[in-house]
Amino acid sequence: MLTLDMAALTPVEMHYHVNKLLSQYVECIDDDRLEEWPDFFVEDCLYQVVSRENVDRGLPTAAMYCDSRGMLADRVVALRHANIYARHYYRHILSNVDVKGVQDGAIVVHSNYLVLQTLVEGDTKVFSAGKYLDRIVSTADGLRFARRVVVFDTYRIPNLLVTPL
């Protein structure tokens, strides 16, 4: 795959490519192909999950923080081999994908998400709702996240956050 020339893309083409990345990302998580999840990021990336309360107060504490693809891979290994949790499935719903434009060589994107969690032996519930704040760059492997900040709206996570959002 060739690196996309972001300056040559029309707004419609850029929106298409961004939506494709976002859709593939949530499909990877929802289909439990978590070993592939780090591949959506550049090597020197930032992924953090932070409460809206902390964002509003300017507090840096995150519920999940990874600053490299290696840390993302370690997170998956821990999830598969060290954590104990009830078996469950996620289903992401994305909306309001707003491609803000290109800034410093990265596509700036804001979007909303809703994650439903279904316990294998239980009910389906809203697990998390919030927004993604993304900086996406073009690489030889296609578009990848340089920065993905997940801002969840509730002040608390209802149970252990083990799977990436």
- Note the pTM of the prediction, 2 decimals: 0.92
> Locate tokens 């719903």: which residue?
93
Q: What percent of the chain has pLDDT over 90?
A: 68
Q: Which tokens in the block code for residue 7?
A: 């300056």
pLDDT of residue 60: 80
> Locate tokens 């252990």: which residue?
160
Q: Are 154 and 131 in contact (CB under 8 A)?
A: no
pLDDT of residue 6: 77
What single letter denotes the amino acid at residue 151? V
50 vs 47: CA distance, rounded Å: 10
Q: Could you count the other beta carbons within 10 Å of the beta carbon of residue 109?
A: 23
Backbone angles phi, psi at 158, to 5 degrees: -65, -30
pLDDT of residue 134: 98
Q: What is the pLDDT of residues 82-110, one digit of tens each?
A: 766 667 889 999 999 999 999 999 999 99
Q: Which tokens in the block code for residue 63?
A: 């519920």
Cα within 13 Å of Cα(22), Cβ side: 29
149 vs 52: CA distance, rounded Å: 11
The more confidently predicted of residues 86 and 81 is 81
| pLDDT at 1 exceeding the cut of 60 | no
For the beta sheet containing 88-103, the strands, ordered from the edge strand earlier in sequence to the opposite edge, are 64-66, 41-51, 142-152, 124-139, 106-119, 88-103
> Locate tokens 């592939």: which residue?
36
Question: Nearest Cα to 164, choosing from 59, 58, 69?
Answer: 69
Backbone angles phi, psi at 51, to 5 degrees: -75, 150
pLDDT grade for 114, boundaries at 50, 70 and 90: very high
List the single range of 15-19, 47-51, 118-122, 124-128 with lowest mean pLDDT.
118-122
List the single range of 5-9, 43-47, 66-70, 145-149 with lowest mean pLDDT.
5-9
Q: What does the pLDDT average to over 52-70?
A: 92
- Structural domains in the chain, sorted by start: 6-152 (3.10.450.50)
